[in-house]
Homo-oligomer: A and B are copies of this chain.
Amino acid sequence: MEHTSTDCKELFLSMQDFGDLWSGKWKIQIILYLSINKHKPVFFTQMRNDIIGISAKMLSKELKTMEMNQLITRIVHATNPVTVEYRITAHGETFAPVAQTMILWSVGHRRLILNSFPS
C-alpha cells in the first residue's frame, strides 16, 4: 500500500472488523461502564454485579478480547486472594463518543418505532 488514503477495501474490512468486535451483547456496556468509572478502580466481581445479567464466563471472555484490542488494561494486584483491576485505555476512551452517537440514534429510533405501534 503506497498511499495513505482510505480505499474501498480498507473501508470494507474496517466495517467487518467493527462488527466482529462490537457485535456481542456486552462489550459496549463494558466499555461504557469502565468509561464512567474511570476515576476509581474497578474489579472483576464488582463489574459482574453492576452489569446486570452477565455471567463470569462472558465477562472474562469479553475482557480478554477487549484487552487484546487495547481497549482496556488488566492489572493484577498481589493481594490475598488476588484481585484484578480493569481500566479503560486512552484508545478505549476514543470509542465513547462513537457509542454515544449510536445510542443517541437508537433512542430516537426507539421512540419512532414505539410511536408507530401505539400499544
The B-contacting residues of A in range 80-119, CB under 8 angstroms, are: 91, 94-95, 97-98, 101-103, 105-110, 112-113, 116
- In the bound complex, do residue B19 and residue A107 qualify as a contact, i.e. CB atoms below 8 Å apart? no
- In the bound complex, do residue B19 and residue A109 qualify as a contact, i.e. CB atoms below 8 Å apart? no
Q: How far is the CB of A56 from chain B (nearest CB, A)?
A: 21
- The 0/1 profile, CB within 8 Å of B marked 1, for residues 1-19 of chain A is 0000010001101111111
With beta carbons under 8 angstroms apart, the residue of B15, B24, B109 that contacts A29 is B15
Q: List 29 A-B contacts (CB under 8 A).
A: A6-B107, A10-B110, A11-B103, A11-B107, A13-B110, A14-B103, A14-B106, A14-B107, A14-B109, A15-B28, A15-B29, A15-B102, A15-B103, A15-B106, A17-B106, A17-B109, A18-B103, A21-B106, A23-B23, A69-B109, A69-B113, A70-B112, A70-B116, A91-B109, A94-B105, A94-B108, A98-B105, A101-B101, A102-B102
